[in-house]
């Protein structure tokens, strides 16, 4: 099953449109202390065990630094637990910042 990905531009449009969605940061604590896009944080290593904290009734955009970890996490949650409302942020926080916050440091 292919991993659903979403571009930073599409997520930004969701924000502009007021679409109800969650933005989940799965990076490690030391990365999050440098930069963040949301307060919703579950480290990748804990995502499967803490899956009940992830909403199922709205889209959830999962992001990491560059997109690899978020894609793996989305794949695991979809395959093992049947979550169907997940997206991996294409290019992660690095791609987001390149477009929307070029001066922001990326952790």
Report pLDDT for 107: 73
For the entire predicted model, the pTM comes to 0.95
pLDDT of 106 over the 90 cut? no
Q: How many CB atoms lie within 10 A of CB 59?
A: 17
Spatial distance between the Cα atoms of 107 and 94, rounded to a whole number of angstroms: 9
Q: Give pLDDT tens digits for 40-62.
A: 999 999 999 999 999 999 999 99
State the pLDDT confidence band at 103, using cuts at 50, 70 and 90. Answer: confident
pLDDT of 34 over the 80 cut? yes
Q: Is residue 47 annotated as part of the catalytic site, yes or no? A: no
Spatial distance between the Cα atoms of 31 and 26, rounded to a whole number of angstroms: 10
Report pLDDT for 69: 98
Query: Among the options 11, 42, 47, 64, which is catalytic?
Result: 64
Spatial distance between the Cα atoms of 76 and 51, rounded to a whole number of angstroms: 11
Average pLDDT over residues 95-104: 90
């Amino acid at each position: 099953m292919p991993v659903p990905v979403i571009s930073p531009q599409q997520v930004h449009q969701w924000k502009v449109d007021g679409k109800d969605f969650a933005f989940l940061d799965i990076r490690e604590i030391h990365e999050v202390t440098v930069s963040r896009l949301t307060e919703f944080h579950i480290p990748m290593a804990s995502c499967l065990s803490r899956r009940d904290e992830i909403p199922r009734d709205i889209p959830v955009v999962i992001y990491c630094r560059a997109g690899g970890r978020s894609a793996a996490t989305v794949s695991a949650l979809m395959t093992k637990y049947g979550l169907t409302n997940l997206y991996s942020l294409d290019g992660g926080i690095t791609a987001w910042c390149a477009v929307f916050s070029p001066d922001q440091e990326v952790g």
